[in-house]
Structure 1
């Protein structure tokens, strides 16, 4: 009886505060408080923020509400690691809040901080803003894993989802009950089609705004300062979805996401800050949300955010050329960890910046936090610049309020395009150009690719190669070498480069050239020898990705005499496979060294 009366008291208080004046924090008891302004308010409990009132309507309803959670890295020795077996697709821990306080106050805003063991979550509430700026300051997050904030909202008020590449109704909850679950958050309908939350994924650094909406309400995330995100240009994440067990409309803010890459293992300095980003409420109008996003991007980095580290920023520029003087046209440029052996997608402890060079190889970064970085660059395909691997320059220093000119940077690739015998695809870390490559996120797309495939250099087109190989069979590249070339290259070594846009474990391939084994690609913890290449899992293929997962590249040297006059054959033979798991192709190339 006491519990029931307490709940009703909280509901009544939250409803009454819908008419409060200005931004406010009201502490109700040891575990509950209410924050908001004239336009909205939310009741924050021990873990969950519920009873979101806007226009006199509760927009959470029977859903979970707002919370912050994390999951641990598999390498973590944190004592609650075993909870991952209980929550294989969710959080190992929801943050538990105590001691809400107003830490800053201005004439038209308050900054409310909720404290947890792991850190502080802030709501900056302005007088006339329908929504709030939010940010998190780390104190003791464990080795991650996943870290996110999110809303789970009323499914009738928010029936639709929006990202930069997808805008439509979320699947109705009723569809799940009449469908067969086939894997993690994936169901098959009676007509053979699939329902999966991963179809609502996107390249997170390309998002301007995203969220869930209906005819009367919209809830949006606008995050212009993407330097706090982990990963590089090809960082993908789940953005919105329907919660399959309850029907909640889910709006995710993946601050440190892991859905489309090998398991990262990142630790964070005390004081590491994510945000501010804007959580924005409106009447469901996407044009209004886009206009608000444009205003936020124009204002970033926020001058009003009182944090010395956040405000300490400089600029960097340079010109990237190959050693023959040609420009690295449209190269992807990344500022990341200094002196690190991690791939750029795996980096996640600090701050990261992405851009692209122009046709002349010129690039620049503005508003980079002061510090020392490693600069990486790689090809994005195209006619003028298409080489494997990447360029690396460490010890790039960025000084606050200063401009750093790196001048002319010279990249010496291991081989040039002019030495290629053949190449299938472009070195861009993507499946673009291959059959079904770059298609919308759709579960099971690899089923559209053949078991066996023959590609003939000079006759076949790029689109005759499929984006993914996941079934038992043989994919072959047939190429011809003239008698004159075979004599001239009789003592030459060739280099086979296999560049993968992604790989999901469970499928192995043995590589042959003219029926002689040259290597193997299989599941494993990493490269073992030059002959056998072990790959860690990234979930891209079985989580609806068609463009990229986690990029990997392997090289196999072919001794002189491996190639012959006339027709030659490179073959990828798969004799052990798992449906929807295997290889996403970036490019395959053979060149003379």
Structure 2
């Protein structure tokens, strides 16, 4: 299937009908790949000159940068050669080789687009790995994710706006445009891309196993490139940096990210929805001959709390077998997420064989008071078998000792004022400096998702003399969904400071100032409160912000006060 093309045909939009999938070396250090439907020219770094039959004669990259792959900033891979490494009756697998690994394009004769995957050989420890398209803004005017479907900001808006941070601009009316507003949680996606009235370019991921970390992993998707106007379609498959405490992870030789589908169509959302459903049915792909990819099994079990309750709708995660590593920064292996059903049951199918750790945490709902996590090491997945773990016991605190709680414990700011989707820049500034929450009267929606301005948020509650006398030490549990420096917070009970949190004690995550209103890096603190510190009648827990930084501060999850 290796076909040499004349220069005339290379630059003549599309090859002649009946050619089928091909790889051709141009002779100037670049190659052309494609089929009868589309083709693109791959240079040592960038792929440009994208032609597609749906828009005859048009270069869909145009003056934009094109397609490339890189890690941690602009450390882009350079290809030294290309070859067809596998082929079938109707497809070829083209590998572009670099010193760090190989980017593959799997091209079928009748597919408008291509499957892609990357095989590591010598990547350094990294935080971010991504492929992306930067396409012509003339043809790709809109962006679409499962959270957001609208026109990309007009390029002219950037000219008269003020840049306030990376790829974030303030318009004359005080509003903002930023690439971070297009972010989302990677395991909540269906498909995403950029499109216009004539063409659409989409990423479809039938599996999320090659994404790092747990349910709360999130990253960028699409945006307008402010310096050039390019329509940007990101495919970030590894990210422990943009919304978490950045930490580089080791990448084993032979690790595979993908395969995913890059899909071209006429911009129809309904069409790409249908295409995604087809891809889900075909996963794992039969055409991918990688032995480790094909070696799969499953695991199932049931979670029950130690107080007898069923662990319904818990967030369950298959991650690193070393459970001392925070899920948020796990990124060397393959990862799977699910939720228990209303009977506490969970199952994972089509899991790559190997050893994993099993994790579970509250996702709110009936488990809103559960702040402990379940972990179990040494979960071994065997080929073509389903491991049954049976009933697993999850240790929790005694709910009968609960005095009060603000916010459902789920490691997110959902349920609070302004918390949750959509992503939006600068919303921290809508939170008040001072706030009073009265237990028994106020609701969770009266508490704001983030505190930033200097002032005090107070929780007022009543205790009787009998209640104090009948119990010993109280326990104050404070859960944050994220923290962006350089805010500082004192935590007090009836005026006595029990804890002081700041950049000196917390490592910053960027979620708040990058439009995140749901979660960043989870933090959890507990403080013992002796009976003599409590009073008959009115008591208070105070959170006093002592240091303010624009758009930064504390992203809330839950506050619980209980008897030990």
TM-score, normalising length: structure 1: 0.92
Distance in 2, matches of 1:97 and 1:416, equals 59
Which residue among 16, 22, 28 is the counterpart of 2:26? 28
Which residue among 383, 392, 397 is the counterpart of 1:400? 383
In structure 2, the residue matched to 1:245 is 227
Corresponding residue SS for 1:226: coil
Alignment RMSD, CA only? 1.3
Which residue among 540, 550, 553 is the counterpart of 1:569? 540
Which residue among 522, 527, 551 is the counterpart of 1:551? 522
Shift of 1:514: 0.7
In structure 2, the residue matched to 1:521 is 501
23-32 or 163-172, larger mean C-alpha shift: 23-32
In structure 2, the residue matched to 1:365 is 348
In structure 2, the residue matched to 1:83 is none
Work out whether residues 113 and 120 of structure 1, in 8 Å CA contact, stay in contact via their aligned partners in 2. yes
Equivalenced residue count is: 554
Work out whether residues 496 and 555 of structure 1, in 8 Å CA contact, stay in contact via their aligned partners in 2. yes
Which residue among 482, 493, 511 is the counterpart of 2:464? 482
Corresponding residue SS for 1:567: strand
Check if 1:353 corresponds to 2:354. Answer: no
Q: Which runs of 5+ in 1 are unaligned?
A: 1-8, 72-89, 525-533
Which residue among 368, 371, 374 is the counterpart of 2:357? 374
Which residue among 238, 260, 264 is the counterpart of 1:281? 264
Summarize deviations over 1:466-504 as a string: whole Å, max 9, x none.
000011110111111011101112xx1121111111111
Work out whether residues 125 and 250 of structure 2, in 8 Å CA contact, stay in contact via their aligned partners in 1. yes
After superposing on structure 2, the runs of 4+ consecutive aligned residues of structure 1 that deviate more than 2 Å are: 9-20, 383-386
In structure 2, the residue matched to 1:3 is none
Check if 1:499 corresponds to 2:479. Answer: yes
Shift of 1:574: 0.8
Shift of 1:48: 0.1
Which residue among 315, 322, 342 is the counterpart of 1:339? 322
Work out whether residues 13 and 58 of structure 2, in 8 Å CA contact, stay in contact via their aligned partners in 1. no
Summarize deviations over 1:153-183 as a string: whole Å, max 9, x none.
0001000000001000000110011100111
Shift of 1:12: 6.6
Distance in 1, matches of 2:323 and 2:466, equals 45
Corresponding residue SS for 2:366: coil
Shift of 1:559: 2.8
In structure 1, the residue matched to 2:201 is 219
Summarize deviations over 1:524-577 as a string: whole Å, max 9, x none.
4xxxxxxxxx22111110011111112121112223322221111101111111
In structure 2, the residue matched to 1:41 is 39
Work out whether residues 372 and 395 of structure 2, in 8 Å CA contact, stay in contact via their aligned partners in 1. no
Which residue among 6, 12, 15 is the counterpart of 1:15? 12
Work out whether residues 323 and 376 of structure 2, in 8 Å CA contact, stay in contact via their aligned partners in 1. no
Shift of 1:436: 0.8
Shift of 1:448: 1.2
Distance in 1, matches of 2:375 and 2:61, equals 48
Query: Superposed, which structure 2 residues align to 1:383-394 within 5 Å?
Result: 383=366, 386-394=369-377
Shift of 1:105: 1.3
Instruction: Tell me: CA distance 1:547–1:564, structure 2 relative to 1, closer, same or farther (3 Å).
Output: same
Shift of 1:389: 2.5
Corresponding residue SS for 2:203: strand
In structure 2, the residue matched to 1:74 is none
Shift of 1:386: 2.6
Distance in 1, matches of 2:307 and 2:177, equals 51
Corresponding residue SS for 1:365: strand
Q: Which runs of 5+ in 2 are unaligned?
A: 1-5
In structure 1, the residue matched to 2:553 is 582
Summarize deviations over 1:211-237 as a string: whole Å, max 9, x none.
000000000000111000011111111
Work out whether residues 387 and 416 of structure 1, in 8 Å CA contact, stay in contact via their aligned partners in 2. no
Check if 1:112 corresponds to 2:94. Answer: yes
Work out whether residues 202 and 237 of structure 1, in 8 Å CA contact, stay in contact via their aligned partners in 2. yes
Check if 1:535 corresponds to 2:536. Answer: no
Instruction: Tell me: CA distance 1:384–1:262, structure 2 relative to 1, closer, same or farther (3 Å).
Output: closer
In structure 2, the residue matched to 1:268 is 251
Summarize deviations over 1:296-337 as a string: whole Å, max 9, x none.
011111122101100111111111001122111110000000
Check if 1:445 corresponds to 2:427. Answer: yes
Distance in 1, matches of 2:347 and 2:127, equals 31
Distance in 1, matches of 2:475 and 2:139, equals 58
290-299 or 257-266, larger mean C-alpha shift: 257-266
Work out whether residues 15 and 53 of structure 1, in 8 Å CA contact, stay in contact via their aligned partners in 2. no
